[in-house]
Amino acid sequence: MSTSPVSSAEGAVIGKDGLAALVDVLRARGYMVIGPTVRDGAIVLDELESAAQLPYGWGVELEAGRYRLRSRTDGAAFANAAGPQSWKTFLHPARVRQWRAERAAGELAIEADDTTPARYAFLGVRSCDLRAIAVQDRVLTAGPHTDPVYRGRRSGAFLVAVECTEPGGTCFCVSMGTGPAAGPGYDLVLTELADAGGHRFWIRDGSPEGAEILAQLPAVPASAAVRGAAVAAVASAADRMGRTMPETDLQRLMAETLDAPRWDDVASRCLTCGNCTMVCPTCFCTTTEDITDLTGDHAERWRIWDNCFDLDFSYLPGGPVRPSSRSRYRQWLTHKLGTWYDQFGSSGCVGCGRCIVWCPVAIDITEEAAALHDWTTHREEEPS
Ligand code: SF4
Ligand code: SF4
């Protein structure tokens, strides 16, 4: 493929060599490229030194409480839905040291941890995760008190989105209005085609830097046929979502079902392990942990992920505010689908399905919402 001028709106087509060049160009510009790769029987996000590390030829089978890799014959790199990690692993890390203190000769020296974060380029951001990043942007940087850790990692990040053409059995971005086509917020966006026409990527820019980088890739203008095939592939993905949310006002549903017996039912299954919050791309809660060594001369303060399933999370003088599993699961779901709107103006769920896959007892957020919806529907139908 030769490099040719490209129309920004219609985009360009690159091949595997173009994808390899994209990783090289990003690295040459000083970015640490993070993208999907196969490790430990899963597609994880990790630093990529070259595009050869992408999961070419790997897909996934996703079900409640189940994740399996499966090989593909088409060699596609991005025909696999959400893995166990999301981009919050890098933007809002699970553990951050905030400061350390040393005591020597009776003097105490406190040193803030102000390590300069890497400049990240995220390759393969799905539409649901693009929305999740926008949600965390609002939560962690839009208010009067911004999170310096998140801001420092997010502000220089370059996002390469990939539209979904192969949804998983637990995906429901269509129900949440978050995919599978990529919304705004990306610097570049790819749609992968691996069919009789060959293995290629329709690529468009979404920012001036994206346009600059696109101009450096071996690309040809996108024909109407390629654009049509890519749009059709994404539309087909929208029709093949593995899960759906009930078609109702979820915020209202959460507010009207606080006394539903379903909360006892789900509490009898929930282990309150918090896995669902760890994998969720929008959950953001943290706690503070102070540690000292045995001499007492060295201390550190760490910020670590926490979650509403942890009994200590709502501990106030006198005890925890949510002592039962019922109250903790209900807090999580009603916040995600209901009170998140009051706080941040959007849903806290983007329909990625990770909490369904990684729940050890296969609790399914769409099934729980549907059960609550059924309960309200039948309650309204009962004669008074
Ligand atoms: S819903 Fe599942 S993943 Fe979440 S806390 Fe309960 S058992 Fe753990
Ligand atoms: S609640 Fe579940 S489906 Fe929704 S964004 Fe979080 S992990 Fe994804």
Per-residue pLDDT reduced to its tens digit, 248-269: 999 999 999 999 999 999 999 9
pLDDT tens digit sequence for 51-91: 999 999 999 999 999 999 999 999 999 999 999 999 999 99
pLDDT tens digit sequence for 310-364: 999 988 888 999 999 999 999 999 999 999 999 999 999 999 999 999 999 999 9
pLDDT tens digit sequence for 132-188: 999 999 999 998 899 999 999 999 999 999 999 999 999 999 999 999 999 999 999
Give the residue, by CA position, lying nearest to ligand 2 atom 7: 280
pLDDT tens digit sequence for 5-33: 455 679 999 999 999 999 999 999 999 99
pLDDT at residue 6 in the model: 53
Whether 359 is in the pocket of ligand 1, judged by its Cβ within 6 Å, is yes
Give the residue, by CA position, lying nearest to ligand 1 atom 2: 359
pLDDT tens digit sequence for 80-103: 999 999 999 999 999 999 999 999
Query: Span 188-192, mean pLDDT?
Result: 98
The closest ligand to the CA of 283 turns out to be: 2
Please check whether residue 366 is in contact with residue 243, taking contact to mean a CB–CB distance below 8 angstroms. yes
82, 159, 198, 305, 320 from 23: Cα distances, Å: 21, 12, 21, 31, 48
Place of tokens 């493929």: 1
The closest ligand to the CA of 131 turns out to be: 2
Give the pLDDT band of residue 384 (cuts 50, 70, 90): low
Give the pLDDT band of residue 2 (cuts 50, 70, 90): very low
Which is the closest atom of ligand 1 to the Cα of 272? 5
pLDDT at residue 9 in the model: 72
Ligand 2 centre from 74 Cα, in Å? 29
Query: Span 224-245, mean pLDDT?
Result: 97
The phi, psi pair for 158, rounded to 5°, reads -110, 125
Q: Is the dihedral of CA 173, 175, 181, 184 positive or negative?
A: negative
pLDDT at residue 7 in the model: 52
Place of tokens 């999907």: 36
- Cα angle 93, 23, 224; round to 5: 115
Whether 330 is in the pocket of ligand 1, judged by its Cβ within 6 Å, is no
Whether 309 is in the pocket of ligand 1, judged by its Cβ within 6 Å, is yes
* Rg over CA atoms, the chain: 23
DSSP letter at 11 equals B
d(CA 371, CA 309): 21
The closest ligand to the CA of 337 turns out to be: 2
Give the pLDDT band of residue 4 (cuts 50, 70, 90): very low
Whether 272 is in the pocket of ligand 1, judged by its Cβ within 6 Å, is yes
d(CA 323, CA 361): 21
Q: Which residues line ligand 2 (CB under 6 A)?
A: 279-282, 336, 349-355, 365
Whether 325 is in the pocket of ligand 1, judged by its Cβ within 6 Å, is no
Residue 299, CB half-sphere, CA atoms under 13 Å: how many? 11
The closest ligand to the CA of 359 turns out to be: 1
